[in-house]
Amino acid sequence: MALNKQTQAIRIQADKTGEKEHSTPVFLTSSFTFETAEDMRAAFADENDDNIYSRYSNPTVDEFVKKMCMLEGAEAGFATASGMAAVFNSIFALLKAGDHLICCSSVFGSTYALATKFLPRYGIECTLVSANAHDEWEAAVKPNTKMIYLETPTNPQLEILDLEWAGDFCKRHQLIFNVDNCFASPILQNPIEFGADIVSHSATKWIDGQGRVLGGVVVGRADLIHDIYMFCRNTGPSMSPFNAWVLTKSLETLDVRMERHCKNALAIASYFENHEKISWLKYPFLPSHPEYAIAKKQMRAGGGILCFELKGGIESGRKFLDALQLLSMTPNLGDTRSIASHPASTTHSKLSESERLSVGITPGLIRISAGLEHVQDVINDIEQALTSC
């Protein structure tokens, strides 16, 4: 029977233990036993897909990976201990000294550090380009360019990059197309439909969705994932089976959770769009968003994040955070609980003002991750906090 994705995300299950359990079991074991020396030899010779050791594979981790591949439309995947382990291995396992990477300048902070500080140490060159300046991307291509790397929507400015254009760009120049799809989640956007070869996720965010565990996953073309798998099997960033169990249970509810996250975010964005204390507000599915048409083309809904600029600048940002009574002040996103952050006074406070502006961090920028609470309570809290700044 052909099943829809929503059903498969609920029904795909690891080997049963023989106890007829209904909910998915967790295989907390570091290794697996063999009946005969011949069976063990065959497993090590890759003549079958028996589990050997949980750094290589584990049934609970495989269940999570299988669901992620199904949701992204990918041939294969590998799960890692965190989102950064997925991002790191998706780049380092596929590039070598002498190769060149083109990377969007609006990427997650640790990814930016990886591209600018760590890649060059190993002889891998990187050119940073602006999100939607297609002429910069074209001009950056060199004979040794092997891969492009991007995120969309970007954090925290919510720029939308055109995945169809990027897919065509990679085809013309024969480049590996690597996308961090964390902000959209596999429910709202599937980059492989637009030609992506590799898709990574921080499962810590929407996929867990309840702020409990760290995790990451990289999925995509089987030949590339095989190289990533061999690299990871020897370097050891594997996901813990316990975290995989938490995350595979989370995938059973991801579709319904994303529906409510998006509905709440759109309601909050629409309510505050023209507020007197706010100079601009961005949400991908509001027609006022500069890349609204691209968002509509490649996303099924606008996502759970919105951002706005307070007219009062950096001081107002701090006052806003201090006045909140319900929203959490924490450096995370994609939780059942709504979260507010003020990058200029926290995550980016060590940069000078001009450095902050160059990466899109304006002084009064507030990022809201819409949770699953009753949306009126979230709106009321933001509204009362705005009166004090």
Question: Residue 239 Cβ, how far from ligand PLP at the closest point, in Å?
Answer: 11
Residue 225 as a binder of ligand PLP (CB under 6 A): the answer is no
Choices 202-210, 230-238, 263-271, 302-310; region in contact with ligand PLP by CB under 6 A: 202-210
Instruction: Dihedral sign for Cα 92, 94, 96, 101, please.
Output: negative
Evaluate whether 102 touches 137 at the Cβ level (below 8 Å). Answer: yes
Q: 27-66 mask for ligand PLP (x: CB under 6 A)?
A: ----------------------------------------
Among 84, 198, 239, 327, binds ligand PLP (CB under 6 A): 84
Choices 14-22, 24-32, 36-44, 82-90; region in contact with ligand PLP by CB under 6 A: 82-90
Residue 89 as a binder of ligand PLP (CB under 6 A): the answer is no
User: What residues between 103 and 162 interact with ligand PLP by CB under 6 A?
Assistant: 108, 151, 155
206-225 burial, b at 16+ Cβ within 10 Å, e below that, comes to bbbbebebbbbbbbbbeebb
Residue 216 as a binder of ligand PLP (CB under 6 A): the answer is yes
Helix (H) or strand (E) holding 367: strand 365-369
What backbone phi and psi angles, to 5 degrees, belong to 117?
-105, -40
- CA–CA gap between residue 106 and residue 357 (Å, rounded): 12
User: Quick one: tokens of 370?
Assistant: 């819409």
Residue 180 as a binder of ligand PLP (CB under 6 A): the answer is yes
Residue 183 as a binder of ligand PLP (CB under 6 A): the answer is yes
Among 68, 104, 119, 214, binds ligand PLP (CB under 6 A): 214
Query: What are the distances in angstroms from CA 305 to CA 60, 136, 139, 214?
Result: 30, 28, 32, 20
Residue 205 as a binder of ligand PLP (CB under 6 A): the answer is yes
Residue 204 as a binder of ligand PLP (CB under 6 A): the answer is yes
**For the chain, how many helices (H) and strands (E)?**
15, 12
Q: Which residues bind ligand PLP (CB under 6 A)?
A: 82-84, 87, 108, 151, 155, 180, 182-183, 202, 204-205, 214, 216
